[in-house]
Structure 1
Amino acid sequence: MWHNFGVIRMKKKITIGLFLAYILFCGFLFIKNKYITPKQPSLQSEKVQKYQKLLGNAGLKGNLTIYKNGQRIWQYSTVGDANSSYLINSVQKELTGGLVMQAVSRGKLSLNDKINKFYPNVPNAQNISVLNLLEMTSGLDPAGPMGDAPYNNDDANAQKMIQDTHYNEQNFGKWDYQDLDYILLSHILEKVSGQSYETLFDNMYVYPLKLKHTDFVWADQQKLKEINFLPSGQNIDMNAIHSLLGAGSVAMSNDDLYKVSADLLNGKLLSAQNKAIIYAPGNNPSHYRGGLYTKGDYYESNGNGCGYCNFLRISKDGKVAVILQSMDSSRYGDLSNAADGIYADLFGK
């Protein structure tokens, strides 16, 4: 009997102890939420209504996300959800620019290197620099396909592209937007590193930043499902995607794209000095370098292809951004204007 009574008293003590621990834990959460955890920023209701109407009129079939001080303050999806990933097309060039600057910082490459150092059979290679490629002032343009069909390997694609490359002397030193320049940069990166572009990309971005909704579009269907890849409904020619190495072959969600872009600009992935070099206003009327257009106090990047269109507007310190991705590129102009209008309305120009 006394034994049973002792057990009962012990159980009561344990119950009271657990109850007190629960009260203390609840008190901690209350203090943390009220006084310690910063309040999550949000968008005013009138802005929400205004932007929803704007995006509806622009024909958004995807996702727009707004970021402030590194946090998502509003996300609006008409198709898919916040984790949906899209082929980012030419927005990838910004990330290729980051890889180039990483190679420069490691002494593997110089912006002044002439490309005959890597591919002497490129027309006028002895005069075209890595910087010309970054600013799209090389004078090069494709006179045929930019890779093999069917795809065999990156080296074969590089040789096929070079074989079909034309040099336009009148355009040398002048800005002429060509995917070819960034594709060639990607092959140069492979040559100087001894690694595939895909490996370089994963090691600089995917693994360190723990990106969960990013991969190359040529990944298998299970992997594309895992990253929530949103098909546009248009057929994607994988031979063409492989030929766009470094210039339009990656799928990313808005959050992953923001994380990478912000960390390229805030010192986490590139030093302030290297960021200032690679994303400086280019020596061309469009102020293009490293995959970004300099627009006053912010950067801009755009993508269009395979039914997708993509728009990045981000401050130079990476703290604020508007990212819009859609699986209907037929409304490219309207959606570009919507991204511009929302960024200007919130953060000025």
Structure 2
Amino acid sequence: MKRTQHYRMKRRVWKRVLLVTLVVIILFICSLCLIKHKPTTAVGETKTVKHTYKPVTKSIVKNLNQNVFLKNNDLAVGFDTQLQESGFVGTALVVHHNRVILQKGFGYANKAQNRLNDAQSLYQIASIQKGFTATLIMQQVRAGKLHLDTSLSQYYPNIPDANQVTIKEMLTMTSGLTEKANANVFTTDAENVAFDAKHTTVVSSPNWSYQAINYRLLSGILMQITHKNYSELFNETFNQKYHLDVSDYKDFVRNKHRTIGYKDLDYSQLASDSPLAYAMETGTGNMAMTTGNLYTFYRLLTDHVMLNENALHTMWQHPVSSRYAAGLYHYDKYSTGHGVILGFEPTVILTKNGQDAVILMSNVNTRGKSWQPLAKRLFTQMTAIKIVN
């Protein structure tokens, strides 16, 4: 009897030993798997998360600012013909299914010098700059230094009804504000916006109204938050960090790739080249860039490099009363932006993911004529998306 009990106890012990051994083996195998798949960090090295281009974005933007014409592509050939027949002057950039099929200059950048437009030509982007200002605002929101429901009175308490105006309403131009006078002198960005603030009043209609004062005051708020002038903040963000090579007016006029603004297609009449007119457009329209770098800006947004998906959605969320938000007009399948300043007319139309786009940057703006319908026609032919007029 004792012998039988001894064997049973011995058997239980061996079962326990085998069970423990099996568990140890399983745990060892799992730990090897974890080590194999765990990212390694060198001793003393701080692990950081880097914002990188999505592969498709990187492959597109690396060759921008170079002339592209795919002669074996029917769309590119057809668009090139239409641009020439329309008399378009400027640089056209067409992206179809994540591929640049056309980037080409038309007409003269400077007729007096017989210098032609090309992919490296610089154009004033006019009101499209408001999208850059909006992006700077959203970056401050992301950093927790500003909120979209913050009232304007926190920064400009002397503006009428400032306590009833929010940052979000200024981004969508539903603030009800307008400017009753323009400055006739200019010294700095801060003094320019200070003048604007003193001459801000309320419009009669409470509905949406396109008023540049909204973005001039947003520029002033950025300067108050960051303690930097607008040009400095703009340069640090978009040039030093994202390498977009945007030029402010003083650099634009010295750049060898600058274009001259004209009032007619035969180049017989120059547009006014007023330093004061540009200086007054703090945050609203005094920067210049190439078509390729402008497209890169939008891809950095749509690919959530500059702003995460939620922040971009919030920035581009338009009110019921209009389609406007952050420098663009937004529709279900596309967004579009347009501007005019002293002979320059930029037009941008792109799908929500940025993978199809038409950008026309022109240095001829003739009274009563716009290149915007041409851009819309090309975009519709390429995507079959009907554009709202």
For the aligned pair, the TM-score class normalised by the smaller chain equals: 0.7 to 0.9
Matched residue of 2:349: which SS? Answer: strand
CA–CA distance in structure 1, aligned partners of residues 334 and 140 of structure 2 = 25
- Please list, as runs of the form range in 1=range in 2, the aligned pairs for 1:303-314 lying within 5 A after superposition: 303-314=339-350
Match of 1:128 in 2: 165
Tell me if structure 1 keeps the 8 A contact 2:345–2:361.
yes
CA distance in 2, matches of 1:91, 1:118: 25
Residue 251 (structure 2) aligned to one of 219, 231, 241:
219
Residue pairs, 1:31-46, within 5 angstroms:
42=70, 44-46=72-74
Report the equivalent of 1:165.
200
Greater share of helix residues, 1 or 2? 1
Query: Partner residue of 2:103?
Result: 75
CA distance in 1, matches of 2:162, 2:72: 54
Taking a change above 3 Å as real, the CA distance of residues 317 and 48 of structure 1, as seen in their structure-2 partners, is: closer
CA distance in 1, matches of 2:77, 2:251: 38
Q: Does residue 112 of structure 1 match 2:149?
A: yes
Q: Distance in 2 between matches of 1:43 and 1:265?
A: 29
Residues 70 and 92 (structure 1 numbering): CA distance in 2 closer, same or farther, change over 3 Å?
farther
Picking from 234, 246, 252, the partner of 1:201 is 234
Which of 61, 64, 82 lines up with 1:54 in the alignment? Answer: 82
How far residue 86 of structure 1 moved from its aligned partner, in angstroms, is: 0.3
CA offset digits 1:124-154 (Å, max 9, x no partner): 1110111111111111112110x3x321122
Tell me the secondary structure at the aligned position of residue 126 of structure 1.
helix
Aligned to 2:93: 65
Partner Cα separation in structure 2 for residue 84 and residue 332 of structure 1: 25
CA distance in 2, matches of 1:346, 1:215: 31
CA separation of 1:69 and 1:255: change in aligned 2, threshold 3 A: same
Query: Separation in 2 of the partners of 1:199 and 1:159?
Result: 17
Superposed displacement of residue 41, structure 1: 9.8
Q: 1:81-123: CA deviations, max 9, x gaps?
A: 1110100000111111111110100011111011010011112
Q: Deviations over 1:50-85 (max 9, x none)?
A: 323432343311011112354422123113111101
**2:36 alignment partner in structure 1:** none
Q: Secondary structure at the match of 2:163?
A: coil
Q: Which has the higher contact order (CA 8 A, sep 6+)?
A: 1
Structure having the higher Rg: 2
Percent of matched pairs sharing the same residue: 25
Aligned equivalents of 1:207, 1:171: Cα separation in 2: 41
8 Å CA contact retained: 2:71, 2:77: no
Question: TM-score, normalization: structure 1?
Answer: 0.81
Q: Which residue of 2 aligns with 1:266?
A: 303
Contact 1:59–1:331 at 8 Å: present in 2 too? no
| C-alpha distance in structure 1 between counterparts of 2:224 and 2:98, whole Å | 35
**1:319, distance to aligned residue in structure 2 (A):** 1.9
Which amino acid in structure 2 is aligned with residue 56 of structure 1?
A: Q
- CA deviations 1:151-173 (Å, max 9, x no partner) are 112222122112222212x423x
Question: Please, which moves more after superposition, 70-79 or 176-185?
Answer: 70-79
TM-score normalised by length of structure 2: 0.73
> Aligned residues, how many?
303
